[in-house]
Chain A
Amino acid sequence: MLLRLPKIGMEMTEAVLARWLVDDGATVSKGSALYEMETDKVTNEIESPVTGRLRQLAHEGVTYQVGDPVAEIVES
């Protein structure tokens, strides 16, 4: 499953991927926190919608637009 940068709140258009909370290649479970994203307004932890092996596609400190690919999870 391809994970894209979500839109959180009415006015968000972009966010900085502040910090990965899991390593590239790690196995993540549904509901676990994957990364922190930061907008002008707030910092949010984004949870994994599925269980599987994570491949990071985005880098810490970089600004991404809503809908940009952030990670891929191969479901298990």
Chain B
Amino acid sequence: MTATSPDDATLVQMFDTMALIVATDDALRGAISAGSATLAYYSPRGQEAVAAGMAAALRRDDYLVTTYRGLHDHIAKGVPLRPLLAEMLGRAEGTGKGKGGPMHVSWPDVGLMLTTGVVGSGLPIATGLAWAASRLGQGRVTVASFGDGASNIGAFHEAANLAAVWRLPVVFLCQNNGYGEHTAFADHVHIEHVAQRAAAYGMPGVTVDGNDPEAVYEAVSNAAGRARTGEGPTLVEAVTFRLFGHVFGDRMAYVDPTELEEAWKREPVGRFRHALIDRGLLTEEEASAVEARCASVAADTLAEVLELPEPGEDELLRDVVAPSVVLTNPLSHGHLEMSVRSAITLALDEALSNDDRVVLLGEDISENGVFGVTKGLAAKYGKDRVRDTPISEQAIVGAAVGSALGGLRPVAEVMFMDFLGLCLDQLANHAAKLRYMSGGLTTVPMVLRTAVGGGLQVGAQHSQMLEAWLTHVPGLKVVVPSTASDARGLLASCIADEDPCVFIEQVLLLSRKGALDHKPVPLGVADVKRAGSDVTVVTYGRQVHDAIAVADDLASRGVEVEVLDLRSLVPLDELAVLESVGRTRRAVVLHEAVVTGGFGAELAAGISEALFDRLVAPVLRVGAVPAPLPYARDLERLALPGPERLLEALEWVLAYKD
């Protein structure tokens, strides 16, 4: 690699950036000491050169993903100081209207797409941003900034591998500041340099002096150059030191005083100032003038921000989800009969055909996928758009989050819902929350398809309906189809939606056939699958069919059961539930998931709260028993809620007389 050295103007600009970081840090620490600002503050002091060198080597529109110790990165990348400080202090003028806070700053105008408070989690998202930029031909590079501590997290390894395998334009920039929280580097990493880890993924790894902005500039410049010309990712390790500890108030008792003293001797800003004066690029007076200007800008901005109002109550529920997108054009293939599997394939096929931004990713999906749902799509649309991934759930979901942030409409597949445990951080902490935490500046229009094997005798790790994990997290939409027509219509709506949607495919339903309908199926609209007047079964997914069968039996005894298919759990069609149960005055809630803490508890509580004086019987819940799903055939049948238990519950509520 040929070194790309910064020119004189860039050197002076980098000093300016570093001086502004110091001044801002100084102002913030002063305000915290004086008790006028109250926040958990992670000072970037000591790491100024990394941020200044990195940002100077990038284009304004290059993407940056950083971490909660990211103030220096934010400033260097060009986030304006006023909204930045306002966010740190929870003011309405903040980047995220004060709803994200210092750990969650986004400013897409300068490519800052994410600041995460979860160590390492930004890295898979960076791969997705890079994939989007590359697919959209933007020539943008994505820098993923992280610490030495993050290099031990699975997300780092999954992201590094994915970026290398896909040759993505990513620069992994490790700011090795010597400590992961309070643990010294040598106590948490058993090699000399984080950059050595690059070898494991087949990418170049370089270690530079992170206190020298020129060295960082050169390394990032070279890495960005490789990325832009299609040569793939690079791991750059900038070795530096965290001069003020982990968080404000950390007395650094775990640091040897000599080590700290030595670190201060290598302090980057003073050192660079000397170098520029020695080289005649700045005079002593000019350097002081830069520092004085930065000090007054930082102090004045902070003083202004302290006077700004906090967000009003009207912001509380705004930006949780985007305004709904309702499809209005009739869907194709009305009345054509097909399986749920083919209906899902059709929805994917049509989405890929209608919108170039739609991409699929997941394990083995270019073949057929494990259940044949993606069959034929790679042949039709290419393996770049129907993309196989390593077995790396965090990377799959993270790449979906990142590519959605970057303008694609990804549909990711996680083979079994049980594997959500491997990627729940990406889904629950990132996909679900980025819109809210950024005050609506960013949004994550992704779909996650996932299969559930309950009833197939595949054991407790391939069978779980875990929808309650997801419905509990504001910001996620959750969909469970029961018929071919709904599967196609709901998936089309999910792909069109601006928010992250999880689409749950129960394997036992996949071969079930039904006729398609022309009518679009909006999210949040339940469907009466069988009308009745005596009792309502509120259900979703394959249990809808059990409920219809039991209802047909009861009809012969003169009891009319209404079967209400929710179709989407979030958003929930509360009006349909209350209208139906308000009329029948009796309700049984049925789902495949374990009853304890299940979504049925939410439904039963909601019905009871709203209709207490209308109900003639308690709302009963029917679901799986509270045990891991057993393997043996008869035991599994006993564990899952079959028609017998539904019938028993219906008889129980019907026994109550008005």
Report A's interface with B, CB cutoff 8 A: 1-10, 30, 42-50, 66-67, 70
Contact = CB atoms under 8 A, between A and B. Distances in A.
B1 interface: no
Nearest to A67: B35
A8 B249 contact: yes
B596 interface: no
A6 B38 CA distance: 7
Most buried by B among A3, A6, A9, A30: A6
B251 A44 contact: yes
Nearest to A45: B251
A42 B246 CA distance: 14
A1 B38 CA distance: 17
Nearest to A1: B34
B29 interface: yes
Contacts of A45: 251
B249 A42 contact: yes
6 contacts: A2-B34, A3-B34, A4-B35, A4-B36, A8-B249, A47-B33
A48 B40 contact: no
A8 B248 contact: yes
Given A43-B251, A45-B251, 4 more contacts: A3-B35, A6-B34, A7-B39, A44-B249
B247 interface: yes
Contacts of A6: 32-35, 38, 249
A48 B38 contact: no
A51 B41 CA distance: 23
Contacts of B39: 7
Nearest to A70: B35
Given A42-B249, A49-B29, A66 B40 contact: no
Dominant SS among interface residues on chain B = loop
A67 B249 CA distance: 16
A46 B33 contact: yes
A56 to B, nearest CB: 15
Given A44-B249, A44-B251, A66 B38 contact: yes
Contacts of A1: 34
Contacts of B32: 6-8
A37 to B, nearest CB: 10
A43 B251 CA distance: 9
B33 A49 contact: yes
B38 A49 contact: no
Contact of A50 (B30, B35, B40, B249): B30
A24 to B, nearest CB: 18
Contacts of B38: 6-7, 66-67
Contacts of A8: 32, 248-249
Nearest to A6: B35
A43 B36 CA distance: 20
B35 A48 contact: no
A8 B30 CA distance: 13
A21 to B, nearest CB: 13
B236 to A, nearest CB: 32
A7 B39 CA distance: 7
Contacts of B247: 9
A75 to B, nearest CB: 12
Contacts of A2: 34
B31 interface: yes
Nearest to A7: B38
Interface in B22-50: 29-36, 38-40
Given A9-B40, A10-B40, A49 B34 contact: yes
A59 B31 CA distance: 22
